[in-house]
Amino acid sequence: MTLELSRLSKSYGQFDFGPVDLTVDDEVLAVLGPSGSGKTTLLSLIAGIATPDSGLIRLDGRELVGLPLEDRQVGMVFQEGALFPHMTARENIAYAATASDRVDELSTLLELDGVLDRKPPTLSGGERQRVALARTLATEPDVLLLDEPLSSLDAPIRKRLRDELHSLFESLEIPILYVTHDQRTATALGDRIAIVRDGDLEQVGTPSTVLTRPASRFVARFTGNENLFEGTVTDRTADGSRVRFGDTQFQTTASNLSASAVTVCIHPSRVEVEPSYVADGDRTANRVTGTVARWLNEGSEYRVDIEIEAGSHTLTANVRPPTFERLALEVGSEVQVLIPQESIHLIPEVE
């Protein structure tokens, strides 16, 4: 299936959504953006809950605008899965099912066999969301829309259900739009990510592109690019350019830049930390020396702030725990920071 939006727009008083052009094939598009940016509006227009002011929505060439909700074959799962409280889980799923054997099939798939005879108020949040998902899938939708379905759940359950959704989505060959305001969920589930800002799509790309090649400072901040510096392009060569910020010069692979005032963007996951005396490793990488100013243990990694150029700039690095422990890092440690040329992204925009 192919879902195609062209010049789709909708205004709510002060808020203008679109015009948006977007094509979603049989893939998961994670829709990421701050609260109030228009994520729910996008889904509501596709589902037929809201009517666009202009534009087209086509599913395999068939026009959806003007079709009532029930004729669209679009399934939607909300933040709190709006189940019928007086019906059991089984009845909730069966109510929507196109065929009776779908109930058994879906409850096995979503591990609901043990709770089918219970009513929603007696289920945990995670179970309720699984029932809501089963009920939506029971309608055999051609498009699946999910609006922050995990955001009301506790962290451990959220993570488990997220992993389950990942496998489930692989087995569904339909366009899936998954709305979240959490960058990690978007990266984990999305084949592509669409970043929404003030009713417009700011960037659509693979998770690694959006993370390491953000199109704007807004995208960079929203995807955890904490290292943003104002820089000047000083040299352009066939295979890259040199950029300066403060007294530091970096060689980058960025090409085709017309601007000379740029934002230098380096994702903390791409910054490597080594002892100050080591000189081997990647010789083409940019190296600067610095001092550890702060660190924070975030569980699966350490976030380390390193002051460079006598404290005029701070670089943040994500350091894996074995590396952190091997280097015995502490506040005041002298370190060497390695940044591969291709990990320095230049945004032709400054603040």
List of residues contacting Mg ion (CB under 5 A): 39-40
Rounded to an integer, what distance in angstroms lies between the CA atom of residue 31 and that of residue 20? Answer: 13
**Residue selected from 38, 55, 120, 126 as contacting ligand ADP according to rule CB under 6 A:** 38
**Residue selected from 40, 223, 263, 316 as contacting ligand ADP according to rule CB under 6 A:** 40
* Selection from 119, 16, 138, 130 nearest residue 75 by Cα: 138
Query: Is 183 among the residues that bind ligand ADP (CB under 6 A)?
Result: no
**Residue selected from 37, 92, 251, 252 as contacting ligand ADP according to rule CB under 6 A:** 37
Query: Is 41 among the residues that bind ligand ADP (CB under 6 A)?
Result: yes
Site string for ligand ADP, 314-343 (x = CB under 6 A): ------------------------------
**Residue selected from 2, 7, 11, 12 as contacting ligand ADP according to rule CB under 6 A:** 12
Nearer to ligand ADP, 41 or 263 (CB): 41
CB of 280 to ligand ADP, least distance (A): 48
Nearer to Mg ion, 10 or 39 (CB): 39
Report what 268 binds from Mg ion, ligand ADP, none; CB cut-off 5-8 Å by kind. Answer: none
Nearer to ligand ADP, 164 or 182 (CB): 182
CB of 126 to Mg ion, least distance (A): 20
Cβ-based neighbours of 319, under 8 Å, separated by 6 or more: 273, 301, 302, 303, 304, 327, 329
* Selection from 302, 282, 304 nearest residue 291 by Cα: 304
Torsion angle, CA of 215/216/217/219, rounded to 10 degrees? -60
Rounded to an integer, what distance in angstroms lies between the CA atom of residue 135 and that of residue 83? Answer: 9
Match 């189940």 to its residue by tokens: 83
| 3-state secondary structure at position 62 | strand
Rounded to an integer, what distance in angstroms lies between the CA atom of residue 98 and that of residue 134? Answer: 12
**Residue selected from 2, 11, 36, 278 as contacting ligand ADP according to rule CB under 6 A:** 36
CB of 151 to ligand ADP, least distance (A): 11
Rounded to an integer, what distance in angstroms lies between the CA atom of residue 231 and that of residue 211? Answer: 20
* Selection from 82, 97, 78 nearest residue 139 by Cα: 97
| 3-state secondary structure at position 163 | helix
Query: Is 33 among the residues that bind ligand ADP (CB under 6 A)?
Result: yes
Report what 84 binds from Mg ion, ligand ADP, none; CB cut-off 5-8 Å by kind. Answer: none
Nearer to ligand ADP, 31 or 137 (CB): 31
Pairing of strands 261-266, 248-252: unpaired
Rounded to an integer, what distance in angstroms lies between the CA atom of residue 139 and that of residue 95? Answer: 9
Choices 38-46, 85-93, 116-124, 159-167; region in contact with ligand ADP by CB under 6 A: 38-46
As to burial, measured by CB atoms within 10 angstroms (0-12 exposed, 13-18 middle, 19+ buried), residue 274 is middle
The footprint of ligand ADP on residues 200-219 (CB under 6 A) is: none
Q: Is 168 left (phi over 0), alpha (psi -120 to 50) or beta?
A: alpha
Query: Is 15 among the residues that bind ligand ADP (CB under 6 A)?
Result: yes
CB of 37 to ligand ADP, least distance (A): 4
The footprint of ligand ADP (CB under 6 A) covers 12, 15, 33, 35-41
